[in-house]
Amino acid sequence: MSLLVLLAAAAVGAAGADVDPDPAWLCTGKYYGAFVSPSGTSAKWPVLKSLPEHLRGKSTILLATPGAYAGGKSHVMYADTKSGKAYIEQAAGTLDSVVIFGPLPKIPCSDPAATDILDLAQFFMRTYADDLAAGDRKALANRYSRRGTIFIGGEWKEEVPFDKLSKEYASSWKPPVMFHWQGLAFEKIGDQAVMITGGVARSDQTGAASTSHSYAVLLVKEDGVLRIRMESGAPPARPQLSQR
């Protein structure tokens, strides 16, 4: 069976509910971005001594650049998806200029249905990498389709039921030492699915050289949430596929 046929079959029957609320973080960034500028912030937000440790190194949403003059301040927002809180980092180019504001509440989109599915997919892939880095077995398993997931490697494919995949994550999956996406490209397949292609760089052992390989994933909406229906190219859950 060709890959295109598999993709078409996988997309059929995806739930037609509204959007995943997580991209409210984009609306949250837009909301708080209105209060910042190169001169600082006009809001009286609580100040922290430092950014929560588990958010260090995570991706951010740019709120404002420092502008064209010396001493201008930049602002980025960290989204804590576990607690539902936002943290804003203000900096003027030196370590002692950094100020952390938060925790601040997530602001829902005024029209969630207007959120584009590509925004949902980009958010999905960013937080997917975060869950991998954190070794969050339960969160990773929950990213997969409840109808099962098609895994493809070379001339081999297998459709794995959700319960079986969840047990694999709980019992035998090991987090990579290093993992990041490479050059991901996003393409809509109607209003209910997104095809993502690109690459993965990863290392599974401390001190081992990283390896890179191609990657593809099909995300479909189920109950208003994007989930993985197809994954190809030694996906994070089943690296043994690359050897079959």
- For the chain, which domains are there? 3-21+113-243 (3.10.450.50), 25-105 (no CATH)
Amino acid identity at 29: G
Dihedral sign, Cα of residue 215, residue 159, residue 162, residue 8: positive
Q: Which two tokens stand for residue 229?
A: 């229906």
**pLDDT exceeding 70 applies to what percent of the chain?**
83
List, for residues 222-241, the tens digit of each pLDDT value.
987 899 999 987 545 454 43
Name residues whose C-beta falls within 8 Å of residue 30's C-beta, 6 or more positions apart in sequence.
Answer: none
Amino acid identity at 190: G
Q: What is the average pLDDT across 129-133?
A: 85
List, for residues 55-70, the tens digit of each pLDDT value.
988 878 899 999 877 7
Query: pLDDT at position 237, please?
Result: 46
Q: Which two tokens stand for residue 85?
A: 């809180």
Query: pLDDT at position 243, please?
Result: 39
CA distances in angstroms from 161 to 78, 166, 235, listed in the order given: 34, 9, 16
pTM of the model: 0.62
Q: Which two tokens stand for residue 82?
A: 């576990």
CA–CA dist 63, 83 (Å, integer): 21
More confident residue, 142 or 236: 142
